[in-house]
Amino acid sequence: MSHIVVLGSTNMDLVAHVARAPERGETVTGHGFRTHPGGKGANQAVAAARAGGTVAMIGAVGEDAFGTRLRQELADAGVDTELLRLVPGPSGTAHIVVDDAGGNAIVVVPGANGSLTGLAPGDEHLIAAADTLLLQLEIPLGTVLAGAEAARRHGVRTVLTPAPAQTLPPGLLAATDLLVPNEHEAAALTGSRDPAEAARVLLDRVPEVVVTLGARGCLYAARGADQLLVPAPEVDPVDTTAAGDTFVGALAVALGEGRAMPDALAWAGTAAALSVQRAGAAPSMPHRSEIDASAGVVA
């Protein structure tokens, strides 16, 4: 079984459904609204837990009703929340517009996530006991770097999702084993809109890269090896909000179980394809039995 620690954000997602997203200065009428737990960190934690991993979450929630619900939802998904901090003030929120084609636009307000200004007592011990540390960029960069360096000290695989896209300190990339950007983040990091070229550039900084390509699947690159394009299952998307996080959570589980990278990528792609056929972030994430059934895995 995979042992995964997630160091990252927890947000309450406030989701408005519209026929099409508004242009700047425009008001449109929506046809649905819901709230549900999210945040890239929490999303990856839930995805990994549902995919069959043993998962612990390092993060922070506020002293509000959102914080209470966020903690409970993680626990209900089987995520260990012992080191999920409770801090004064509001929890993080994500304000999401989802159009009828399944596309989305998101504004994140960090809230309690901004209080994660370093590792707390017990955090490094938890990381040291894992086989994989999942990181994203919705908490202060210094803390992301501290987590990556702690993982490196203890020989723990570090998987970084560089979102939201921003300039990364060299030390963070040096402590990253596997970088998983989408094609837009890969372009922002390298200046190249060609995923294959972007992946080649990124290999100068990290040993392995997976560029996610949405409905086209993903591109895997590693030093000293040919690039590999892994297609995604063809589906009709309903909401793509958490597809990338579902992919990363499932990928971490597959790699922790010792699967070869091509098989791990295909299995994670199946999990992501299942997630986009349902509305919401955490509510859309499939359980292991569903992933295995869709991927044709024989128990």
User: What was the pLDDT predicted at 297?
Assistant: 65
- Residues catalogued as catalytic: 245
Residue 13 counted as an annotated binding residue: yes
pTM of the model: 0.92
Residue 239 counted as an annotated binding residue: yes
Peptide bond into 286 cis (omega under 30): no
The pLDDT-based confidence of 177 (bands split at 50, 70, 90) is very high
Architecture, CATH, for domain 3-10+38-86+114-295: 3-Layer(aba) Sandwich (3.40)
Residue 214 counted as an annotated binding residue: yes
User: What was the pLDDT predicted at 106?
Assistant: 84
The pLDDT-based confidence of 298 (bands split at 50, 70, 90) is very low
Contact between residue 53 and residue 1 where contact means Cβ atoms under 8 Å apart: yes
Residue 64, class by beta-carbon neighbours within 10 Å (0-12 exposed, 13-18 middle, 19+ buried)? middle
